[in-house]
Structure 1
C-alpha cells in the first residue's frame, strides 16, 4: 500500500499503513468484521481509522451507509475536525449531542458520519426495567432513541476502555448496536483485570467469547487460580482480533515513531514529623479496625468502611487537610462531625419536610440491612451501591442526595449541572398533544437550569442548596446491627427485597479500582465484596464465612519467602484465621483484644488545628513543598508543567500554595463547562500564557493534546498504572519538540509504596495477555495445551486476606520496615 491513500489529505507513516491494511483485511476477509486497534497513545489510531473508512466505503448495493463514532464528550469537536481536515470534507459529519441532536432516525441515517458520546448513547438505550430481556431489541425498534433504531454500516468506539465494565449501562448499550463492522480504539485495552476485555468481545460479537459464561469459565475464573495461564488464554483469544504496537516498536530496524525521550522518575518523599505522626495514628486505627473485620470474618459486610479507610490513607499522603476538613474522628473516618451532620439534617428538614427526611433515612437503613443479610446468602451486588450515572462505587463521603431522594456522586452532580442537558428526543408514547405538552414542560425546566435525575428522570435542581450530603442520612453501624438483629428475630419478615445487579465474579485484592465505565474515577474505590468473593466455582461457599482449616499448599507454586506468609495477631493475619486443630477454648482466647489493639491516643489539638487550616492559611504538605521546589527549579527553562491529582480538593489547595509563591496557573477539571475548558487550554497553549496547569486525572486523562507542556508532576498514584500512563501521554506524542520529564511523587513507608506492587501486578497481567512487558512474549496456544488448574480454595482465601493486610501495612515485613524508617528519622533529627 502506498503512503498516499486516494481521498486522504495526509500521508501515512509506515506503521499506520500496516495498520490500515490489517483493518481493511479484518473487514473484508475476516469472519470477525472488525477488531481492536490498541496502539499506544500517540501512534495515530484516529488517522488509521479514518483511512480505513476511506478505503472501505459503503457500496451502492449496501443497505446501510452511515458510520457511528462514539467518543468521550471532550473529543467530539476533535473527531469532527480530524474527519473534515484529513478527507477534505468528503463526508457530511453530524455531532449527535446536546441541542443539535436529530430526533428522527430516518433523517439521522442520511448523514455519512454521526459522532456522539457514550452518555448520549446511554440515553437512546434507556430500556424500562419491566421489559423482558428477550423483548428488548423489539422495544428499542419501536420506542428507543434514534441511535438505537438505526442499522449502521460501521460503529467505532474511541477510548473503548470506557466499556470495559460489563455491568454498566454503557457497556451493555454498545453491545446492542446493530452494525456490519465494529471497531474498538484504545491505548489501554487492559487496565484492571483480564475481565476488561470481555466488554470488547461482547460489543464486537466476537464469538464464542462474547458470551459471558464462556468467557468467565475460560479466562475470568482462571485469573483467580492461575494468573499466568489466564493471561496466556487471553492472548490466544485476542491474537486474531487485535493489533497493538508500542512507541518503541521498530520496522526494518527503525523506530516507528521518532519522539523525544520520556523520562519517568519515581520520587520518594519523607513526611514532615507532624505529617508522619498524623499518618501513623490514622494507619494504626485503620489496622486495628481491619484486623477485627478479618478476625470476625466480616470483611465483606464492612466493605464500605474499608474503602473509606483506604481512601483516607491515600489522602493523608497528599495533604492531611483532605480528611481533617471532613472529620477529625480518627476512630470513625466515615463520620461527619456531629455538628455538620446535624446542620445538614436540619437544612433538609426545613427544605423538604420531616416526612421526606424520615422516609430517606428508613430507606437507607433498609438497604443497609438488606445488604448485610443478602451478602450472607449469596454475596450478590446490590442496586444502590453504585452511582447511577458513572457506575462508580457509591461512598458516603462523596455521595449526594437529590430532592427526589435518589443518590448520585458529587462529581456527576457537578458535571450535569454545568453540561448541556441530555435527552433522547422522545417525549412519551401518547397522542401528539400529550407528547407536545411533555416536551414543553421539559424545555421549560431545562431553561430554568434543571437537569433530569439519572434514576427517575424527573427534573431536579442541582444547585448546592438543593442537594444534600448522603452521609447525614446514613444509619450508624449500631443502628444497622440492631436492625439486623431485629430482622433475624423475625425469620418470616425478611427485610425489604432489593433489586440485585448482575453478579461480578471479579477478581481479587489486586483489582483495587472501581470498574466504572464512563470514566476512570479514582475517587471511587474498589468493591471489596467483589475482591474477596470466593471463586464462582465454589458454589455454596462464602468467601469469609467459615474458618480456614490450616495452610493449603499450592503444588504449582514455589515456596514463598517467610515474611510473605508470617502474620501475627494484631498487625497481621495468621492468628485471625483459626488453624486446624485449634480447640474452642483456644479460639475464644485468641479472639480477645490485647493491649496492642487499643486505639492510639488522639492527635494533639494544636497539631490538628494546624493541618485543618484551608484557604490562604493552608499548611504546605511534603508533596506540595517538593512540587513548588520543582516548579521554581524549572522556571528559568521556559518549560510548561502539568500537575495531576485525582482530587479536586487537592487542586484547590495547590491553587492557594501557587498564589502564595507567585506562580501563575490555570485549572482544568470536570466542574467546568466545555467552553471554559476550551478557553483554559487555549490560554495554556499561548507562548506567553501561564506555565502551570492543574488537571484532574479523571477529566484530563484522555483525549487532550498538551504538547505545549513537557513536564508533568503527578501528586497521587492511580490504582492502575494505565490511567497514569494515559495522562503522561497527553504531552508525549506527535508534535512534542522537547524531552518529556515526569515526576511521580509518593510518600515513603505508606500505602502508596504498597500500591506500586499492585500496579506492577496489573501491568504484568496485561503484559501476559498482550504478549509484552512483564508478561513476556507468549507463543500461540492450542486448546489442547490449555489445562485447568484448581489450587486449594483455602489457599486462595488466605492469599486474598494477606494482600489486604499488606495493603494496610499489617505484615511483619511492613512492621520491620516501619520501625527501620522511624529509627532513621530519629537519627536524622
Structure 2
C-alpha cells in the first residue's frame, strides 16, 4: 500500500500503512469483520481508523452506510475535527449529543458519520427491567433510542477500555449495536484482569468466546489457578483479532516512531514525623477493622467499608488534610473511617420530614434483613449495590439519596447536575395533549436545573443541599441482627424478596476496578466484593484457625457499630476457609473483642489542628515539598510540567502551595466546561504561558495531546499501572521533541508501596495475554489444546486473605519493615 491513500489529506507512516492494510483485510477477508487496534498511545490509532474508513467505504448497493463512532465526551470535537481535516470534508459528520441530538432514526441514518458518547448510547439502550432478556432486541427495534434502532455499516469504539467491565450498562449496550464491521481502539486493552478482554469479544461478536460461560471456564477462572496458562490462552484468543505495536517496535531495523526517550522514576519519600504518626493512627484503626472481619469471616459482608479504609489510607499518603478536613464532628478523627451520622439525619428530618426519614430507614433495614436471611447469596447482586447510572459499586461514603428515595453515587450526582439534560424524546404513552403537557413539565423542570433520577426518571434537585448521604440512613450491625433475630422468630413472615443483578465472578485481589468520571472519590478503588468473593462452597474446604495479627488502636464504640453494618452475605466465604481447630468454643470466642483492641492515648490536639488547616494556611505534606523542589529545580530549563492527581481536593491544596511559592499554574479537571478546558490547554501551549498544569487523572488521562510539556509528576498511584501509563503518554507521543521525565511519588512503608506489587502482577498478566514483557510469546497452542486443559482444584481463599492483610500492613514482614523505618527516622531526628 502506498504512503498516500486517495481521499486522505495526510501521508501515513510505515507502521500506520501496515495497520490500515491489516484492518481492511480484517473487514474484507476475515470472518471476524473487525478487531482490536491496540497500538501504544501516540502511534496514530485515530488516523489508521479514518484511513480504513476511506479505503473500505460502503458500496452503492449497501443498504446501510452510516458509521457510528463512540467516544468519551472530551473527544467529541477532536474526532469531528480529525475526520474533516484528514479527509477534506469527504463525509457529513454529526455529533449526536446534547441539544444537537437527532431523535428520528431515519434522519440520523442519513448522516455519513455519527459521533456520540458512551453515556448517550446508554440512554438509547435504556431497557425496562420487566422486559424479558430474550425480547430485548425486539423491544429496542420498536421503542429504543435512535442509536439502537439503526443498523450501522461500521461501529468504532474509541478508548474501548470503557467497556471492559462486562456488568456495566455501557458494556452491555455496545454489544447490542447492530453493525457489519466492529472495531475497538484502545492503548490499554487489559488493565485489571483477563476478564477485561471479554467486553471486547462480546461487542465484536467474536466467536466462540463472546459467550461468557465459555470465556469464564477457559480464561477467567484459569487466571486464579494458573495465571501464565490463562495468559497464554488469552493470547491465542486475541492473536487473530488484535494488532498491537509498542513505541519501541521496529520495521526493517528502524524504530516505527522516532521519539526522545521517556524516563520513569519511582521516587520513594519518607513522611515527616507528624505525618507518620497520623498515618500509623489511621492504619492501625483500619487493621483492627480488617482483622475483625477476617476473624469473623465477614470480609465480603463488609466490603464497602474496606473500600473506604483503603481510600482513606491512600488519601493520608497524599495529604492528611484530605481526611482530617472531614473529622470536625468527631472527638476521635479515626471515627471518620465509619459512617457520617446524626448530623445528616437531622438535616434530612428538617428538610424532608420525619416520615420520609423513617420510611427510608425502614426500607434499607428491610433490604439488609432480607439479604441477611436469604441463603446462597454471595452479596454481589443485591439491589442498591451498584449506581444505577454508571454501574460502579456503591459505597455508604459516596452514595447519595435523592428526594425520591433512590440511590446514586456522588460522582454521578456531580456529573448529571452540570450535564446538559438529555432525554429519549418519549413523553408518556397517552393522547397528544397529555404528551405535550408532560413534555412542557419536563422542559420547565429542566430550566430550573432539575435532572431526571436514573431509576424513576422523575425530575430531582441535585444541588448539594438537596441530596443526602446514604451512610446516615444505613442500619447498624446491631439493628440488623435484632431485626434478623425477630424475623427468624416469625417463620411465616418471609423477608421482602431481593431484586437481583448479574453476579460478578472475578474473585482475586488483583481485580481492583476503576471508574469513569472526575471528582474527589477514587476512580481506581478496588471492588472488594469482586476481589474477595469466595469460590463455590466445597465441603472439603475449611476455615482459618485464627486471625491475622495486627496492632490495635482506639475506636469509638458507636462508630464501630455503624462501621460494621451488614451489607453482604458471607456464607460462602466462611465455608471456603480451613476450620482446623475451630470448634464451637473457638468460634464463640472469636466474636468477642480481641484483647489487643485497647484504647490508645488520644491524638495530640495540636497535631490535628496543624494538619486540619486548609486554604492559604495549609501545611505542606512530604509529597508537596518534593513536588515544589522539583518544580524549582526545573524552572531554569524552561520545561513545562504536568502534575497528576486522582483527587480534585488534592489539586485544590496544590494551588494554594503554588501561590505561596510564586509558581504560576493552570488547572484541568472534569468540573470545567468544555470551553474552559480548551482555553486552559491553549494557554498552556503558549510559549509564554504558565509552566505548570494541574490535571485530574480521570479527566486528563485519556485523549489529550500535551506534548508542550515534557515533565510529569504523579502524586498518587493508580490501582493499575495502565491508567498511569496512559496519562504519561499524553506527553510522550508523536510531536514530542524533548526527552520526557516522569516522577512517581510514593510514601515509604505505606499502602502505596504495597500497591506496587499489585501493579506488577497486573502488568505481568497483561504481558502474558499480549505477548509482551515477562508474559512471553505463545507459539503453537491451538484453541483445541486450550479447551483440553482444565483447572486443578486448590484452596485459594487463604492466599486471598493473606493478600488483603499484606495490603493493610498486617503481616509480620510489614511490621518488621515498619519498625526498621521508625528506628531510621528516629536516628535521623
With the shorter chain as reference, the TM-score category is: over 0.9
Larger mean Cα displacement after TM superposition, 325-334 or 718-727: 325-334
* Displacement of 1:331: 11
Secondary structure of the residue aligned to 2:796 is helix
Give the whole-Å Cα distance in 1 for the aligned partners of 2:560 and 2:610.
45
Secondary structure of the residue aligned to 1:68 is strand
Give the whole-Å Cα distance in 2 for the aligned partners of 1:641 and 1:380.
42
- For each residue in 1:407-440, what CA deviation from the matched residue of structure 2 results, as whole angstroms up to 9, or x when unmatched? 2222222221222112222333333333322222
* Displacement of 1:760: 0.3
* Displacement of 1:473: 2.2
Secondary structure of the residue aligned to 1:481 is helix
Q: Does the aligned pair in 1 maintain the 2:65–2:112 contact within 8 Å?
A: yes
- Structure 2 stretches lacking a partner, 5+ long: none
Give the whole-Å Cα distance in 1 for the aligned partners of 2:673 and 2:2.
43
- For each residue in 1:660-690, what CA deviation from the matched residue of structure 2 results, as whole angstroms up to 9, or x when unmatched? 2222222211222222222222222222222
* Displacement of 1:343: 3.4
Give the whole-Å Cα distance in 1 for the aligned partners of 2:499 and 2:100.
36
Q: Does the aligned pair in 2 maintain the 1:191–1:720 contact within 8 Å?
A: yes
Q: Does the aligned pair in 2 maintain the 1:532–1:543 contact within 8 Å?
A: no
- For each residue in 1:326-368, what CA deviation from the matched residue of structure 2 results, as whole angstroms up to 9, or x when unmatched? 2379999895699974332222222222222222222222333
Give the whole-Å Cα distance in 2 for the aligned partners of 1:823 and 1:542.
40
Q: Does the aligned pair in 2 maintain the 1:554–1:795 contact within 8 Å?
A: no
* Displacement of 1:541: 8.6
Q: Does the aligned pair in 2 maintain the 1:193–1:507 contact within 8 Å?
A: no
Q: Does the aligned pair in 2 maintain the 1:294–1:576 contact within 8 Å?
A: no
CA spacing shift, 1:663–1:539, aligned 2, 3 Å = farther
Give the whole-Å Cα distance in 1 for the aligned partners of 2:570 and 2:143.
59
Q: Does the aligned pair in 1 maintain the 2:298–2:570 contact within 8 Å?
A: no
CA spacing shift, 1:501–1:596, aligned 2, 3 Å = same
Give the whole-Å Cα distance in 2 for the aligned partners of 1:687 and 1:472.
51
**Cα root mean square deviation, aligned:** 6.3
Q: Does the aligned pair in 1 maintain the 2:517–2:670 contact within 8 Å?
A: no
- For each residue in 1:190-226, what CA deviation from the matched residue of structure 2 results, as whole angstroms up to 9, or x when unmatched? 0011100101000000111111111111111111111
Q: Does the aligned pair in 2 maintain the 1:667–1:680 contact within 8 Å?
A: yes
* Displacement of 1:550: 22
CA spacing shift, 1:348–1:149, aligned 2, 3 Å = same
* Alignment coverage as a number of residue pairs: 829
Larger mean Cα displacement after TM superposition, 407-416 or 181-190: 407-416
- For each residue in 1:767-788, what CA deviation from the matched residue of structure 2 results, as whole angstroms up to 9, or x when unmatched? 0000101212222412454377
* Displacement of 1:268: 0.3
Secondary structure of the residue aligned to 2:335 is coil
- For each residue in 1:484-539, what CA deviation from the matched residue of structure 2 results, as whole angstroms up to 9, or x when unmatched? 33333334434322211101110201112246699997346323222222335969
Q: Does the aligned pair in 2 maintain the 1:645–1:695 contact within 8 Å?
A: yes
Q: Does the aligned pair in 1 maintain the 2:334–2:555 contact within 8 Å?
A: no
Give the whole-Å Cα distance in 2 for the aligned partners of 1:488 and 1:567.
18
Give the whole-Å Cα distance in 2 for the aligned partners of 1:182 and 1:133.
23
Give the whole-Å Cα distance in 2 for the aligned partners of 1:180 and 1:520.
41
Give the whole-Å Cα distance in 2 for the aligned partners of 1:64 and 1:251.
38
Larger mean Cα displacement after TM superposition, 375-384 or 439-448: 375-384
* Displacement of 1:633: 1.3
Instruction: Give me the TM-score of the superposition, normalised by structure 2.
Output: 0.92
- For each residue in 1:684-722, what CA deviation from the matched residue of structure 2 results, as whole angstroms up to 9, or x when unmatched? 222222221111111111111111111111111000001
CA spacing shift, 1:277–1:517, aligned 2, 3 Å = closer
Give the whole-Å Cα distance in 2 for the aligned partners of 1:556 and 1:372.
25
- For each residue in 1:138-163, what CA deviation from the matched residue of structure 2 results, as whole angstroms up to 9, or x when unmatched? 11111111000000000000000001
Q: Does the aligned pair in 1 maintain the 2:553–2:600 contact within 8 Å?
A: no
CA spacing shift, 1:334–1:406, aligned 2, 3 Å = farther
Q: Does the aligned pair in 2 maintain the 1:644–1:696 contact within 8 Å?
A: yes
Give the whole-Å Cα distance in 2 for the aligned partners of 1:551 and 1:786.
46
Larger mean Cα displacement after TM superposition, 714-723 or 430-439: 430-439
Larger mean Cα displacement after TM superposition, 576-585 or 317-326: 576-585
Q: Does the aligned pair in 1 maintain the 2:312–2:337 contact within 8 Å?
A: no
Q: Does the aligned pair in 1 maintain the 2:67–2:152 contact within 8 Å?
A: yes
Q: Does the aligned pair in 1 maintain the 2:701–2:730 contact within 8 Å?
A: yes
- For each residue in 1:288-327, what CA deviation from the matched residue of structure 2 results, as whole angstroms up to 9, or x when unmatched? 2211211111111111111111111111111111111223
Give the whole-Å Cα distance in 2 for the aligned partners of 1:811 and 1:549.
7
Instruction: Give me the TM-score of the superposition, normalised by structure 1.
Output: 0.92
Q: Does the aligned pair in 2 maintain the 1:307–1:528 contact within 8 Å?
A: yes
**1:339-358, aligned counterparts within 5 Å?**
341-358=341-358
CA spacing shift, 1:320–1:542, aligned 2, 3 Å = farther
CA spacing shift, 1:649–1:374, aligned 2, 3 Å = farther
Give the whole-Å Cα distance in 2 for the aligned partners of 1:785 and 1:556.
57
Give the whole-Å Cα distance in 2 for the aligned partners of 1:153 and 1:453.
34
Give the whole-Å Cα distance in 2 for the aligned partners of 1:404 and 1:628.
47
Which residue matches 2:819? 819
Q: Does the aligned pair in 1 maintain the 2:324–2:333 contact within 8 Å?
A: no
